[in-house]
Structure 1
Amino acid sequence: MTVVWIETVRQIAATLAVAISVIALATPSFAFTAEAQRQCTGDAFRLCSSEIPNISRITACMVKNRSSLSSGCRVELDKGLAAKSHRVAEQ
């Protein structure tokens, strides 16, 4: 019973860590949407779980593994990167 409980808590903690990391990407420097979170959470777990909870490392990992992302996540990542580069160009 204790092992099951610990595993459940561990899974919940990992899910929350990814969710918080993706939500935190919605800062002015890297604006991702709820749709990006929905599309990319599975990819973040699959490709970048070792980087959780470090947001900048998750982002770098996702960019590095762009070719392995699901198509929906790739589209959302590209939108976020385009928005970021547009904001940088305006400064």
Structure 2
Amino acid sequence: RWDFLDLVMDKLSFGLKLRFWIHGCLNKGRSSVLVNGSPTFEFEMFKCLRQGDLLSPFLFILVMEALHAITRKSVDLGLFRGASVGQ
């Protein structure tokens, strides 16, 4: 499900047209599999983002920006004071 990503794009004022385009890229795709070095017939995939997709790093940055904002707000409200690593 990509609801969170859509919410992030909405909060960052992405236009509806761009959000719809990205949603379309994430929810449908065509792929094939190499069997003994030869590709099979293409088949349709749903709710996917293929490994190595050029959109992937961009979407990762959007989600990390949202995580940063949530963490910053938690710190500002005193709900999160840090974490210790190791001993």
TM-score bin (small chain): 0.3 to 0.5
Q: Structure 1-normalised TM-score?
A: 0.35
Query: Normalized per residue, which structure has more helix?
Result: 1
Larger-gyration structure (1/2): 2
Hey, which of these two has a bigger chunk of strand by percent? 2
Q: Name which structure has the greater RCO, CA cutoff 8 Å, separation 6+.
A: 1
